[in-house]
Structure 1
């Protein structure tokens, strides 16, 4: 916007202080292995839409809470699920940005 008496201002986007390092081949294999199980894929479909507790996921999928907890542990270890505490409940949600980058990360690892 130009107006008489105003000084022009240029604004540049601020990048992050550190660029995220691309995942290693081992991390990529861990993520793809985590997604290869059909129960974990069903859990991811729910977790992509909203955050859920372990008990809620167990009820929806007809599994026990320890089974769901083990599958969530695999997804969390792979870096695909984030957790946050709300009172006495722990909410799990799919990290959609990590999943969205999975294809480009694979291609980058293959071309290294």
Structure 2
């Protein structure tokens, strides 16, 4: 994944309407009417935002007669999550352990 592709995908996900669309598509393939019903977004905004998600590679489409079905591109979303995790030093196989402050002790922000 190139930096430009990652930036486009992160921008696409960082919009409240597009995030609602992605949530509506979680675990399901839906046509535009079903996405509208599940998300309450409405036309033509829904079509515009689906185009942004499609251009960013976050959703795939399948046409069946006159209906277009959308689904999340799991492999692309996994690449985005992996790239974002690497920014914080995380990987798919490791999870950063969080610090727990000691009771009764002053805790200061750690810069570094």
What TM-score do you get using the length of structure 1 for normalisation?
0.69
User: In the alignment, which residue of structure 1 is the partner of 2:48?
Assistant: 70
Taking structure 1 as reference, are residues 64 and 107 closer, same or farther at Cα in structure 2, changes over 3 Å only? closer
Q: Distance in 2 between matches of 1:65 and 1:39?
A: 12
Q: Distance in 1 between matches of 2:81 and 2:25?
A: 19
**What residue ranges of structure 2 are gaps of 5+ in the alignment?**
89-112
- Name the structure, 1 or 2, with higher relative contact order (CA <8 Å, separation 6+): 1
**Equivalent residues in 2 for 1:12-31 (5 A)?**
23-31=1-9
Taking structure 1 as reference, are residues 91 and 25 closer, same or farther at Cα in structure 2, changes over 3 Å only? same
User: In the alignment, which residue of structure 1 is the partner of 2:72?
Assistant: 94
Determine which structure has more spread, i.e. the larger CA radius of gyration. 1
Equivalent pairs, count: 89
**Equivalent residues in 2 for 1:1-112 (5 A)?**
23-106=1-84
**CA-to-aligned-CA distance 1:54-87 (integer Å, 9 cap, x gap):** 1221222222221111111010000000000112
- Is this contact kept in 2: 1:53–1:91, CA < 8 A? yes
